[in-house]
Amino acid sequence: MKKTKTSNAASGAGDVAAQLGLRPGQSLELLKELHILTREGRINQDSRRKLKQVYHLVQFIEKLLDELPPSEGGLRLADHGAGKSYLGFILYDLYFKHRAEGRVYGIETRTELVERSRALAERLGFARMEFLNLSVAEATQSPSLPAHFDVVTALHACDTATDDAIAFGLRRQARAMVLVPCCQAEVARHLNAHKALNLARTPLAELWRHPLHTRELGSQLTNVLRCLYLEACGYQVTVTELVGWEHSLKNELILAKYTGQRKRSAAERLHAILAEFGLQALATTRFALPGVRSDRQ
């Protein structure tokens, strides 16, 4: 009799998941805790959009994880700017939970979110999740994290947080990085700083003469420079849409897989673009190439 009740409960949960468009075996309790589902098990349109974005990203990451040769102790993933850890929790629930090894690390600066995530992981029995109250810069140097990571993710990491996640991935010799940038402003600030000089120097400065164009061009340039930088550091880079534009305007997905083949042409183009747009200062800070380690396992 107990078996029948358990079977019926599992079947009922499966029916609910199918009606809501959820993945098989997904924890409804987790989705309620993340406020993607209401306590009654319903989902609104905003939550459906958020879940669709995370699902798309999870599919990319699952494919990456499956392609990577196994590491000793299982695959290790670092999620930067984790926030409420939607991505980390859903990845653990759908991918890591069913495997004997592997670990997910959530890195977040807001103490209350780290404590909430730790408590939720304990309630759900997600024993191989860790949450650290660190900035990305602190995490890059922290001895409490493994020396090597298989995958580094940064979902909607604002402005320079994406660059910090790239720096962390390089330092920790990540075999892959999955980045969804957001609200890039650093390059736009640099473009603004010398706008009059550049207008006199080159007609290309018309591309960022107006503030709206400065913001848009700055965002585009930032991601182009990031891709060239990753290629110069030995990664194969793919850029695609995360989901349809009707779901999110912050939609660019950068996938980088380490090959060890540093592209000299990418480094040359990176420096040429920095010079063309008057951004040479970033060549010694944000996009400095010397000292990138190549002793990968």
Residue 65: inside a domain, yes or no? yes
Q: What is the reported pTM? A: 0.86
Ramachandran angles phi, psi of 236, nearest 5°: -90, 125
Residue 238: inside a domain, yes or no? no
Residue 110: inside a domain, yes or no? yes
Long-range contacts of 32-38 (CB under 8 A, 24+ apart): 33/120, 33/123, 33/124, 34/84, 34/86, 34/89, 34/90, 36/86
> Residue 255 in contact with residue 237, Cβ under 8 Å?
yes
Tell me the residue range of the domain where 85 lies: 24-182
Report the alpha-carbon angle 5-11-17, nearest 5: 140
Sort strands 103-108 and 235-241 into parallel, antiparallel or unpaired: unpaired
Mean pLDDT over the full length of the chain: 85
The count of structural domains within the chain is 1
- Kindly report, residue by residue over 159-215, the tens digit of the pLDDT: 688 899 999 999 999 999 999 987 778 888 888 888 888 888 888 889 989 989 989
Residue 36: inside a domain, yes or no? yes
Grade residue 297 by pLDDT with cuts at 50, 70 and 90: very low
Q: What is the CATH number of the domain that holds 108?
A: 3.40.50.150
Residue 215: inside a domain, yes or no? no
Residue 69, pLDDT above cutoff 70: yes
